[in-house]
Amino acid sequence: MLKVNSLHICEKIIVEEKTGNVSIINIFDNINAQNFPATYPKMSVFAGFENNNPGIYDFELIFLDEKGEILKIQAKINIGVNCKGNWAYNVVGYQIPREATQKIKLNYEGETIYTGYLTINNK
């Protein structure tokens, strides 16, 4: 079974080319906007996975609030021989429809395997 070890929303992700080491810059769980709808210029999403069987696995990342889906990304994760894998994605121009606490879900084979939250404030 695919397992999520971490999920971070951040400003930037740097993956060192030679070693594959990951640096996650400015992790946050809150966005402030003065007007809605709003656009957040750029953010990155990082997830760390593991599974007992190396291979490539399909999953989806969904941002939603009480009124529905805001962003849905179909993706693949490569789990290596060490039974771990990292996934990073840059979101450019993230559309924020309203002030709300958004749920962040990672789904695998139709089931939610991780839930996190992103709070959107009117400030």
Cα radius of gyration rounded to whole Å, the chain: 15
- In order of their start, the domains of the chain are 3-122 (2.60.40.1930)
Q: Which pairing describes strands 30-33 and 111-122: parallel, antiparallel, or unpaired? A: parallel
C-beta separation of 65 from 101 below 8 A? yes
Q: What is the pTM of this model?
A: 0.93
Q: Which of 7, 6, 34, 43 is nearest to 120 (CA)?
A: 34
Q: 70-121 pLDDT, tens per residue?
A: 999 999 999 999 999 999 999 999 999 999 999 999 999 999 999 999 999 9
Q: 28-75 pLDDT, tens per residue?
A: 999 999 999 999 999 999 999 999 999 999 999 999 999 999 999 999
